[in-house]
Structure 1
Amino acid sequence: MKILIIAFDVAPLDLISSQRVNYFISYFHGQGYEVDVLTSKKRFIDGPINDVVSYNELIKKANFIEIPSTISKQDIDIVSDHSVNEYRTSNLRSILKKFKAYLTRFTGQMLDYRTIWAFNSIKYIQNSELYYDVILTSSLPACVNWVGWHIKKKNNKVLWIADFRDLWTLNHLVEYSFFSKKIDSFLEKKFISKADLITTVSQDLAAKMEGFHKKDVLVVRNGFVPEEYKSINANYDIFHNKNKINIVYAGNIYRGRRDPTPLFKTIQEHKLEQSVNIHFFGYYLENLKEIINDNDANSYCFFYKPLPRNEMFSILKASDFNLFLESGEDDAKGVMPGKIFELIALGRPIITIGPQDNFESVQLIKSSGLFVGIQKFVEILKMDNPYSFNLKDQTFLENIAGREAQAKKIHQYIGEKMGI
């Protein structure tokens, strides 16, 4: 059985979005599939290229077909030279991200440099004699679905699974104009009309996609691989004052969406400024600095650039509390980022701000025994005795959040369709 996985975000990109694809590669290889991966030749503009270890492991399990995301005819090598000025590159990424968000309001998500990679990939496929039994596309970026649509149009017998770890037109973090949403809606429906199966990460998102595409949607959650977390040692070095409560957040901030303002207001209201330090890790923190200034929180907030994944895990494991932020709007009800599963796997209490009690993210965190609401957090800080939380046992966590059980759903679907 030969499968082609089409994804832009994959190792050596050290992104949480890459972890889902990385696991699919390992899982299908382990099930005896012959795995090809159609991806881009990575450049620092794509994101932090720190996961070279995973990349070196994965190229032993799969044939990586790495296509340039430029119009240049010159070959581009995989980048692993960390002497590149990461600060300057991250600033350029930040500028491009803002520019793309601005363009999306008028043109939709397909006007993206990664669409050049998709175009180059389609040209490569047209000139090749490759044959696959199954293709699996992983969105975003949206352009992977263009590639999947092209392959399916060329060979209608191939089984196409369109995986949406993040939604396209229905994405709650994308700002559209009426016109640009019409463009993306048209393109998404056109491309996905040829998909045999749609998968996404939660029941709520599945319901939205079913309504949008009039197709059945299979829920394939994100998750974690237990073995990855057993050897992680806590690293307390960054904590300036170990007598204070140290809270850690890793990721992007969106004002009004993924926004720590309620936590700052609670700290101010209960005069807890001298009791806590909050450590933020991320590239795009301009919004956060404004929010901190607006809430007079400078004395207890600290900023850091993102770290390689395992180094970040060591700090998250050492924290007193980790912080999970998400929107409380109804359009975020089914949002289940991979970050939730990593925080659960690390086993530290999770202060959860934004999502409502009936959101799937909150229900999952509560089921792990690690959920801490903002009022509970205040109560804990006022306790005389150390707080003990009710972390569920490892078997339970694997059942609710293990990656293997999720990937197995796709494998079973393929088996049913292919008669194996």
Structure 2
Amino acid sequence: MKKVLIITYYWPPAGGPGVQRWLKFVKYLRDFGVEPVLYIPENPSYPITDKSFLNEVPQDIRLIKKPIFEPYALASIFSRKQTRTISSGIIAKEEKQNFVQRLMLYVRGNFFIPDARKFWVRPSVKFLTEFLNTENIDTVITTGPPHSLHLIGLKLKRKLDVKWIADFRDPWTNIGYHKKLKLSQASQKKHIKLEKEVLNEADRIITTSFTTKEEFQSKTDKPVTVITNGYDITSGEDLSESGKKFSLAHIGSLLSERNPKNLWEALSELVQENKDFSRDLQLDLAGTVSEEVIESINKYRLDNHLKLHGYLSHREALKMQRSSIILLLIEIDSEETKGIIPGKIFEYLAAKRPVIAIGPPNWDAGIILKETEAGKVFGYEEKKSLKEEILGSYKLFKEGQLQCDSKNIEKYSRKQLTGKLAKLISEV
């Protein structure tokens, strides 16, 4: 059985979508003749945790842990709330940032390149050089963000000439929040230089979206493969519940710029125009929600219909997906985000609930919804058609006829995706 070393920052008990990708790959890799060995931080500073993921870690998997210096841990001494907010990706609009937020963003962007986990690179390279020399492992996989982990792979490649696969769950220099980090011109150049080195020295590159693949193919001649995230529903689990309310649910972070005012306005008009709709409507938001989003919802007088659930365990999130009537998928309206495919979309497909998505033009997620016939996508400027879609869905809901028969979703199962990964590993 071929051994591979997987270097990842996020591992249980970390919560959120970042941990699930490699947790699920590790769960199934042995079925395809690959033995994973994990290298993870011993004392990470995770913005959210979900201990339920610990139950999915194979008991006999080999885990190697080494300490990491976390600047976020020090910063939290001065401002715990701001540190947790920024490390979670919730960045307020420029005009609403206070002095502490501006300072932390400037320091984060210009002193910690490519990110705040950069201090793990040097000790990890030193330890892993000795480790790989004594183990029968010739293939290394790094996954980012944090993209500093790719620098570990880069240095190991240069020192030991191991086979190296770089997995990008998100873009690097082209990701939306880069513009908010108050980068100096020198810092921007350093990011571009590091990204170029990683893309041109890795043996294979993996992306989770089609747009990121196109972007990287314009920057390197190395092979780029798309392996999306997916769903993993254990057979025999009954997570379904019947919803009595006409519930629209969003599971995951709602950033300041991920604020579909056209949706809030459409719902507000329907509430005013239709008493039955007003009585039945429930807006469920699970995860971190920015103050700007809550202010917009209150502005459109939807606060009486709003339920904020906070962070849910993965199992609770799956349960909400199946008990909701409509599932919301929302992304920032920008060119940089059209290649972002939220991990929850695949669990939405498996939930067999209609999806209403609001995002940028030519969004990769829209391609998946269209091919699976699982939902409809709207732009941020579309209100009339969005309102009609919601009202039509509500009428079908009242008649007991609202359903979603998503098609051809099996290729997005975690096990099939792991098979694709295992094939790529064998070809390196």
* TM-score, with length taken from structure 1: 0.83
Counterpart of 1:84 in structure 2 is: none
* 1:13–1:51 Cα contact (<8 Å) kept: no
Distance 1:261 1:281 in 2: 18
- Does 1:186 pair with 2:193? yes
Counterpart of 2:410 in structure 1 is: 398
Quickly say closer, same or farther: Cα 1:49–1:130, change in 2 above 3 A.
farther
Distance 1:214 1:413 in 2: 17
- Choose the corresponding residue for 1:231, options 224, 237, 240: 237
* 1:145–1:192 Cα contact (<8 Å) kept: no
**Letter paired with 1:69:** I
User: SS state of the match for residue 391, structure 2?
Assistant: helix
**Letter paired with 2:265:** K
Q: CA deviation at 1:166?
A: 1.0
Q: CA deviation at 1:102?
A: 4.5
Q: Deviations 1:208-245 (Å, cap 9, x if unpaired)?
A: 011123433111111112436x5142357xx8xx3x31
**Letter paired with 1:368:** T
- Does 1:141 pair with 2:146? yes
Quickly say closer, same or farther: Cα 1:389–1:235, change in 2 above 3 A.
closer
**Letter paired with 1:14:** G
Quickly say closer, same or farther: Cα 1:388–1:381, change in 2 above 3 A.
closer
Distance 1:189 1:28 in 2: 29
Counterpart of 2:14 in structure 1 is: 13
- Does 1:170 pair with 2:174? yes
**Gaps (5+ residues) in structure 2?**
72-78, 92-100, 378-385
- Does 1:308 pair with 2:308? no
Counterpart of 1:268 in structure 2 is: 268
Distance 2:340 2:86 in 1: 26
- Choose the corresponding residue for 2:390, options 374, 377, 392: 377
User: SS state of the match for residue 161, structure 1?
Assistant: strand
| Greater displacement, 341-350 / 293-302 | 293-302
**Letter paired with 1:32:** G
**What pairs up with 1:300-379 in 2 under 5 angstroms?**
300-356=305-361, 358-372=362-376, 374=386, 375-379=388-392
- Does 1:219 pair with 2:223? no
* 1:90–1:283 Cα contact (<8 Å) kept: no
* 1:232–1:313 Cα contact (<8 Å) kept: no
| Greater displacement, 270-279 / 205-214 | 270-279
* 2:283–2:306 Cα contact (<8 Å) kept: yes
Counterpart of 1:83 in structure 2 is: none
- Choose the corresponding residue for 1:199, options 201, 206, 220: 206
Counterpart of 1:252 in structure 2 is: 253
Q: CA deviation at 1:67?
A: 1.6
Distance 2:313 2:346 in 1: 18
| Greater displacement, 321-330 / 195-204 | 321-330
Quickly say closer, same or farther: Cα 1:307–1:354, change in 2 above 3 A.
same
Q: CA deviation at 1:161?
A: 0.6
User: SS state of the match for residue 33, structure 2?
Assistant: coil
Q: Deviations 1:372-418 (Å, cap 9, x if unpaired)?
A: 4523112222456234334135xx2213x12233332332233234x
- Does 1:120 pair with 2:123? yes
Distance 2:65 2:238 in 1: 31
* 2:168–2:207 Cα contact (<8 Å) kept: yes
| Greater displacement, 35-44 / 218-227 | 35-44
* 2:366–2:376 Cα contact (<8 Å) kept: no
Q: Deviations 1:180-213 (Å, cap 9, x if unpaired)?
A: 3222111111233320011101222100011123
* TM-score, with length taken from structure 2: 0.81
- Choose between structure 1 and 2: higher helix proportion: 2
* 1:262–1:353 Cα contact (<8 Å) kept: no
* 1:321–1:349 Cα contact (<8 Å) kept: yes
Quickly say closer, same or farther: Cα 1:294–1:183, change in 2 above 3 A.
farther
Quickly say closer, same or farther: Cα 1:352–1:161, change in 2 above 3 A.
same
* 1:10–1:18 Cα contact (<8 Å) kept: yes
* 2:143–2:167 Cα contact (<8 Å) kept: yes
**Letter paired with 2:172:** W
Q: Deviations 1:241-294 (Å, cap 9, x if unpaired)?
A: x3x3111111111233x2232210111233254441101111353332232233
Distance 2:70 2:321 in 1: 40
Distance 1:71 1:205 in 2: 29
Q: Say how many residue pairs are matched.
A: 387
Q: CA deviation at 1:351?
A: 1.6
Distance 2:239 2:404 in 1: 21
User: SS state of the match for residue 58, structure 1?
Assistant: coil
**Letter paired with 2:178:** V
Distance 2:82 2:251 in 1: 18
* 1:109–1:142 Cα contact (<8 Å) kept: no
User: SS state of the match for residue 122, structure 2?
Assistant: helix
Counterpart of 1:412 in structure 2 is: 423
User: SS state of the match for residue 345, structure 1?
Assistant: helix
**Gaps (5+ residues) in structure 1?**
73-87
Distance 2:287 2:394 in 1: 26
**Letter paired with 2:35:** E
Distance 2:59 2:196 in 1: 33
Q: CA deviation at 1:319?
A: 0.7
Distance 1:19 1:52 in 2: 8
Quickly say closer, same or farther: Cα 1:332–1:293, change in 2 above 3 A.
same
Q: Deviations 1:96-139 (Å, cap 9, x if unpaired)?
A: 55556454444565240x22333332232244344422111111
* 2:253–2:289 Cα contact (<8 Å) kept: yes
Quickly say closer, same or farther: Cα 1:277–1:101, change in 2 above 3 A.
farther
